[in-house]
Amino acid sequence: MERFLSLYQNIYSDLYRLAYYYMGNAQDAEDSVQDAALSACQHFHKLKKEASFRSWMFSILINRCKKNLKKRGQRELTMEHPLTLCTAGSKELDSQTEILELLQTLTEEERLIVTLTVFGGYKSEEIAHMLHRNHNTIRSKYRRALQKLQQELTSEANHTSNSRKRQRKEKPI
């Protein structure tokens, strides 16, 4: 368990970031990382190469996140006002909320690809293996996702009183 924890220590922030931006919710992210860590720890002895720990851990986390997202969907919970449970300054909160909202404009898969790339540091080939997709598909989806984000940002910059943004906020919680 000690060995597991020392390996875990190096990457848990990355794990959390991925879960947070992918799931769009601090509590769910925290739960998922914890769940993933627990099950990974149980099966740690099955891991043959410690060098693969990082990708192994990320794979487990993604599965866990997906499962929890499904569960959340079943409870008919849409995206909450994020970070309400987090203990950070309000200014920080605002900017993180914006990012979450921005990422919510992507489809779930796009969000996963973007977060895996940006926070997981994965290459499209690796993501392709992980998601069992062709790496070119992943690459083009990634590109498209970033274009989407770019468009979203510019349109938001153009309309300071963004009606679309407000609309999303008005969604029932």
Partner 1 sequence: MKGNKEIVKMLQKKGEELPIPESLHPKKLYPILQEYSQKKRRQKRRFYAILSVAACFCLIMGLCLLLSPYTFFRSEDMQQKALAKRPDLEMPSKEPMELALLESNYEEIYARLSKSWKALSSKQEATSYREFSVAEDMAASASKLSNAEASFGKTNTQVQSIEEADQIKNDGRYLYQIATKQTKDENGTNVSKTGIQILDTLDGVKEIAFLSEFESLEEFHLWEDLLITIENKTYDTPYSSFEAKKESVQEDLTFCDVLYQEQAYHEISIYQITDRSQPKKLKTFTLNGSYETSRILDGYFYGISRFLAKPGEGAQDYSAYVPSVDGTLLEASRIYCPPEADGNNYLVLVSIELANPTSLMDSRAVLAGAGTYYISPQNIYIAWYLPVFQETQVKEGSIKDCTKLLRFFYQKGHFYAQAEGEIPGQINNCFSMDEYKGNLRIVSTIQTYNVKEVIDERTGESIGFDYREDVRSNALYILTPSLSIKGLIEGLAENESIHSARFLGDTGYFVTFRQTDPLFAADLSDPEHPKILGELKVSGFSEYLHFYGEDRLLGIGMEVDEATGIQKGIKLSMFDISDPASLQEVARLHLENYYYSEALWDHRAVLIDTEKNLFGFEAEGSIDDKRRKDYLLFSYQEEAFIQTHTVNTLPEEESYYCHVRGTFIEDTLYLLYGNGEVSSIEL
Query: Per rule CB under 8 A, is residue 81 in the interface with partner 1?
Result: no
Please tell me the count of residues contacting partner 1 according to CB under 8 A: 67
DSSP string, 85-127: TS-S-HHHHHHHHHHHHHHHTS-HHHHHHHHHHHTT---HHHH
Stretch that binds partner 1, among 89-97, 105-113, 159-167 (CB under 8 A): 89-97
Check binding of 50 to partner 1 (CB under 8 A).
no
The correct pick among 3, 71, 81, 164 for binding partner 1 (CB under 8 A) is: 71
Please report whether residue 13 would count as binding partner 1 according to CB under 8 A. yes
112 is an interface residue for partner 1 by CB under 8 A: no
- Residue among 148 and 170 whose Cβ is closer to partner 1: 148
